[in-house]
Amino acid sequence: MTYKTLLTGILILLSGLAQALETPSPADIQLGSVKATVVELENGNTLYSKHSDWQTPIASLTKLMTALVVVEGPQDLEEWVMIPEPDRETRKNAYSRIRVGSTLKRKDLLRLALMSSENLAAYTLGASYPGGVEAFVAEMNRKAQSLGMVDSHFADPSGLSSRNLSTAADLVKLVTAVTKHKVIEEYSTTPRYTAHFRKPRYSLGYGNTNRLVHRNSWDIELSKTGYITEAGRCLIMVSTVEGREVAIVLLDAFGKLTPLGDAGRVKRWLTTGNGGKVAGAALRYEQAKSREYPHYDKVSSF
């Protein structure tokens, strides 16, 4: 072995040791979300994983796949699109202030679907796709398979159906794909937006469903919230923490505040090594839901 080879080996070893020392122990963080993963996007390193292979309804996190199909599809984002009569599931499970028959640019429908989780906007994106909602959903599933999301299935563009299923691990693959599109990142993190409709002409103001995008203490590059009863509270974020661009996927949490608190605990854990503790009600929910699964996995890190 030459001196140069030996020196190279030592440098590689020291680099790996330094990275290991920089990554805090998963034993030092507690989350209220039943399934979760934290991944460093630059190198794909999983920093934290908890039940990340458990398939679960994902509610409006679905809209990230909806956005990917729209942005990578053949349609013009500048086109004015008519708002159709919603289908039964959208009409039954979601209230919308948008007037049926009015028109809005496709890019604005996309922004509202992402930042404000507007369900009729998401449905309209699917309905206006060549072949309609059925063809749109088929493309969602085709794209999921192409990304290697083998444990995922999509049933509608909005996420209102409990048959929209995925895992935390699969959703990281989706995050990796959507972060290649700056328009999705921008629209998903828009704090507030006023949409201007035509036929008839009116305007509606919207706010982001993730209150963390309003805080200067966070550097958020991608955001999506989600909730239906079957999915619990869900949150996906990409943020730069301590110089690392990390994807945070939080699924099935109790109450509106738990995923936000979990995100804060992840940030604190990556910054200080101490992730803090979860409130009693959220922790009891997490423990009860975990016991519903036949195989209970302990938290692991890689």
**pLDDT at 8 exceeding the cut of 60:** no
Report, as an integer, the average pLDDT of 92-108: 93
Determine how many CB atoms are found less than 10 A away from the CB of residue 204.
17
**pLDDT at 3 exceeding the cut of 70:** no
**pTM above the 0.85 mark?**
yes
Which of 12-21, 260-269, 285-294 has the least mean pLDDT? Answer: 12-21
**Between these two residues, 224 and 19, which has the higher pLDDT value?**
224
Q: Residue 88's pLDDT is what?
A: 83
Determine how many CB atoms are found less than 10 A away from the CB of residue 78.
9
Question: 38-65: per-residue pLDDT in tens?
Answer: 999 999 999 999 999 999 999 999 999 9
- Residues tagged active-site: 60, 63, 117
Q: Residue 138's pLDDT is what?
A: 98
Question: 164-205: per-residue pLDDT in tens?
Answer: 999 999 999 999 999 999 999 999 999 999 999 999 999 999
- Tell me the fold of 26-291: Beta-lactamase (3.40.710)
Question: 218-231: per-residue pLDDT in tens?
Answer: 999 999 999 999 99
Beta bridge partners of 193: 206
Q: Residue 35's pLDDT is what?
A: 97
Nearest to 269 by CA among 24, 94, 9, 8: 24
**pLDDT at 162 exceeding the cut of 60:** yes
Report, as an integer, the average pLDDT of 143-156: 98
